[in-house]
């Protein structure tokens, strides 16, 4: 994960990047979206990218 420009005890961040849209990456991304964070998910496989997007819409 990449953190930038938001003040926390870890420093500042403005968005969080998750690399990989498999089961774990999609779960992390959805959890962050539920927490109202700005998330960028990077996935090279179009099928997994669609699956990760679908899992974010169902929660």
- The tens digit of pLDDT for each residue in 12-57 reads 667 889 999 888 998 998 899 898 888 899 999 988 888 887 866 6
Distance CA 27, CA 10 (A): 22
Which token pair is 4?
Answer: 């930038």
Task: Work out how many domains the chain is built from and give that number.
Answer: 1
Structural domain of 15? 2-57
- The tens digit of pLDDT for each residue in 46-55 reads 888 888 878 6
């Amino acid at each position: 994960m990449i953190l930038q420009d938001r003040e926390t005890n870890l420093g500042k961040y403005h968005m969080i990047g998750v690399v990989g849209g498999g089961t774990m990456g999609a779960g992390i991304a959805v959890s962050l979206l539920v927490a109202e964070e700005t998330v960028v998910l990077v996935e090279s496989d179009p099928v997994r990218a669609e699956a990760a997007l679908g899992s974010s819409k169902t929660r």
